[in-house]
Structures are given as C-alpha cells and as structure tokens.
Amino acid sequence: MLQTLSNNVREWFRIPESPPKKQNQLSPELLKRIKKIQVKTNYMVNDIMAGEYISAFKGRGMEFSEVREYQPGDDVRLIDWNVTARMDQPFIKEFIEERELTLMLLVDVSSSGSFGSAQKIKNEIAAEVASILAFAAIKNNDRIGLIIFSDKIEHHIPPKKGKG
C-alpha cells in the first residue's frame, strides 16, 4: 500500500519525457485523478494566485520601489536628480531585487496519510497542495524539488527549473 501510494505521488510530479510504454501505462482511474488535479491547480495558479512573488530584498533590480534620502556610502549612480533638485538634498532610487526562489516540497506518504474524510484522504490533499505549489513555482520560473518520505526517504527529485 505504502509503495503503491509512493509510486502514485511520484507519478503525479513526473514530467513525461516521452509517451508511456504499453507495459507501464497508468490506470484510467489514476489518469482521471491526475487530470482533475492538473485542471484544478492550473485554475488556482492562473486565477487565484496570479502574480509574482514580492521580494523582501531591495537592491539592483529592474522594478522601481521608492526613493529615500542619500546616506554616505550609497552608490552615487543611483541619485534621482529630479527629486534631489526639488527637495534640495540628495535622494537615491531603490529597486526591487528580483531573485529566483528554490522551493523544496516535502510530501509525507506514511500510512497516517491513508486516513481522512469521506471525500478525500490526507495523501490526496497533500498531493493537491504540492501540485498547486509546484505549478506556481514553475509559472514563476523558480526551481522546484521534491522529497517523498514516510519513515525513510522514498524518492528524491533535486531542485531544477520546470518547463512553464
């Protein structure tokens, strides 16, 4: 049971490189569940969670953030001469620094995940949440990795960029 569930979760996150071979085809039930998760997560990523991450770091980026008073040691190339002329003291421009994020998903596939409500078990909900986060990261061109574990690591996919 645990091995089957681990394999199913691994299949949900696998990006197919070539059409599946006849001997390794997924069951129609599993394909239907994967398609349902894909449609639902695609809607959530594109409509509900639309937008990029806002960086907490200010620095040399492309998107303007604000102006602030010049402090000794600031780069003089960042002085906003229009604001400086109006205020009679030097001001510099600050920009939002754009950074790529690395998202590492940890999915618990232990036997406790087989418990849940009449509608969904914990493992199904965990797979949906992980899928939503993975699609959001791929859409934002971030690196994404996955560790599937129970009492030991069942499968590890190192972080890399997806095709979005």
What is the structure's pLDDT at 52?
Answer: 53
Domain count for the chain, please give it. Answer: 2
10-residue mean pLDDT profile of the chain (164 residues): values are 60 57 59 68 56 52 83 91 95 80 87 70 81 80 88 90 67
Q: What is the pLDDT of residue 81?
A: 94
Same domain, 69 and 134: no
Print the domain residue range for 74: 58-96
Contact 142, 102 (CB under 8 A): yes
148 in a structural domain = yes
Instruction: Give this prediction's pTM.
Output: 0.47
Residue 21 lies in a domain: no
Rounded Cα distance, 146 and 61, in Å: 29
Please say whether the beta carbons of 60 and 97 come within 8 A.
Answer: yes
Contact 101, 75 (CB under 8 A): no
Please say which residue of 75, 96, 117 terminates a domain: 96
Q: Which residues of 46-80 are buried (b: 16+ CB within 10 A; e: fewer)?
A: eeeeeeeeebeeeeeeeeeeebeebeeeeeeebbb
Q: Do 90 and 123 fall into the same domain?
A: no
149 falls within a domain: yes
Quick one: 82 and 32 in the same domain? no
Q: Are residues 7 and 86 in the same domain?
A: no
Amino acid at 100: E
- Looking at residue 34, its pLDDT comes to 67
